[in-house]
Amino acid sequence: MKKISILGSTGSIGTQTLDIVRQHPDQYQVIGLSANSNIQALTQQIKEFQPQLVSIGTKELADQLSQEIDIPVHYGMDGLIKIATAPQADTIVTAVVGSVGLLPTSAAIKAGKKIALANKETLVTAGEIIMREVEKNNISLMPVDSEHNAIFQALNGENKQEIKKIIITCSGGSFRGKTLTDLQNVTVDQALNHPTWNMGGKITIDSATLMNKGFEIIEAHHLFQIPYEKIEVVIHPQSIIHSMVEFIDGSIIAQLGPHDMRIPITYALSYPKRLNLDIPSVDFIKQKELTFDKPDTETFKCLEYAFEAGKIGGSMPCVLNATNEIAVEYFLQGKIKFLDIQNTIKKMLDNHQLVANPTIEQIIKIDQETKQATQEELSS
């Protein structure tokens, strides 16, 4: 039985992970849970799964939660690190959103935990450092993102030296086919109306801007040690092919399946085994077609910004991510327009003084400074 802790248990990935535990109680025991502020959902999860320790965002919420349960309640970054390094747990699902995932994931790696990684920002902001720590500590880091999980499966048993390119598929998000003029005054509700995937708000907006795909390019570079020149993005609206790998002999191996995140989550947790999931199969007769197109980077500029930031490396991806976090937050709050997201990212990248080989401490400092500068920029 695997003993797991979940960072971000009340979000989309966290709740789907717990659904897998529900389906396979003989395979998994929940050791720790953490949430940012959803105390009601966390309380229900605690009652159902009986973890040994929990964490929540603030001391006030921790004091409130302590009145209702009789297990240790931690809070803030220290709480996340305690959940990530709990001696009783062997596997950590990092499902928090944003750069807040960096320190607890790093701590879990140093503590020798297996990592099921759903937190994109950890590898976007500090991919080189994190992958060095993974190698140094000889731990397993399994990607939960459907795209990277698909690439991992396509590469299983293959020689990485024989890769011609990695093809990351992209649904196109809520505004596929729209022009810059069309996007001038789109609403938050329109942006959150994703055509295929059911995800959290922040990731859904990242999908609408194509920044999510940009982050995945940077992730793939670090996870599979693939140069950016060998990574391609293809629009695939049906979201049936989750990604592909082309080899030097012309062969292409693709991983296909329903657009249900429980599949890659389960694979990341159960590898090398596969577990039965109560999920409908793809009906290829009804599906009729699988289509592909080139991403429109003239309209959706975030994809190119991510490519460039990744190639430059150093502190540039950290600035990309930090600016995006604040800009998306402001858009979700109705404070800025949709296109202001990519315009602000370009400005902050252009103004940044590169740090070529930052430490984690420097990355955290740059992250905080960039977020502050972005807030000032968007509030002016």
Q: Is residue 158 part of a domain?
A: yes
* Residues spanned by the domain of 215: 148-312
Task: Fill in the amino acid letter for 225.
Answer: Q
Same domain, 170 and 291: yes
pLDDT number for residue 52: 97
Same domain, 230 and 303: yes
Ramachandran angles phi, psi of 326, nearest 5°: -70, -45
Q: Is residue 252 part of a domain?
A: yes
Last residue of a domain, one of 128, 143, 158: 143
Spatial separation of the C-alpha atoms in residues 105 and 108, rounded to whole Å = 5
Are 9 and 95 spatial neighbours (Cβ–Cβ below 8 Å)?
yes
Same domain, 102 and 63: yes
Average confidence (pLDDT) over 317-324: 98
Same domain, 106 and 189: no
Cβ neighbour number for residue 129 with a 10 Å cutoff: 19
Same domain, 124 and 185: no
Of the pLDDT bands very low, low, confident and very high (cuts 50, 70, 90), residue 206 is very high
Last residue of a domain, one of 113, 143, 173: 143
Last residue of a domain, one of 80, 115, 143: 143
Of the pLDDT bands very low, low, confident and very high (cuts 50, 70, 90), residue 200 is confident
pLDDT in tens, 298-319: 999 999 999 999 999 999 999 9
Q: Is residue 318 part of a domain?
A: no
Q: Is residue 265 part of a domain?
A: yes
* N- to C-terminal Cα separation, the chain: 54
pLDDT number for residue 195: 76
Of the pLDDT bands very low, low, confident and very high (cuts 50, 70, 90), residue 161 is very high
- Range in 83-87, 277-281, 341-345 with the lowest mean pLDDT: 277-281
pLDDT in tens, 2-43: 999 999 999 999 999 999 999 999 999 999 999 999 999 999
pLDDT number for residue 9: 98
Q: Is residue 366 part of a domain?
A: no
Q: Is residue 222 part of a domain?
A: yes
- At residue 275, does pLDDT exceed 90? yes
Same domain, 135 and 156: no
pLDDT number for residue 201: 87
Same domain, 115 and 170: no
Q: Is residue 180 part of a domain?
A: yes
- At residue 128, does pLDDT exceed 90? yes
pLDDT number for residue 197: 72
CATH of the domain at 92: 3.40.50.720
Same domain, 44 and 13: yes
Same domain, 134 and 152: no
Same domain, 168 and 277: yes
Total domain count, the chain: 2
Q: Is residue 122 part of a domain?
A: yes
- At residue 73, does pLDDT exceed 90? yes
Of 295, 358, 352, which Cα lies nearest the Cα of 322?
352
Tell me what the pLDDT averaged over the chain comes to: 96
- At residue 172, does pLDDT exceed 80? yes
Same domain, 307 and 179: yes
Same domain, 137 and 224: no
**Residue 302: strand, helix, or coil:** helix
Average confidence (pLDDT) over 279-293: 94
- At residue 199, does pLDDT exceed 80? no
Of the pLDDT bands very low, low, confident and very high (cuts 50, 70, 90), residue 44 is very high
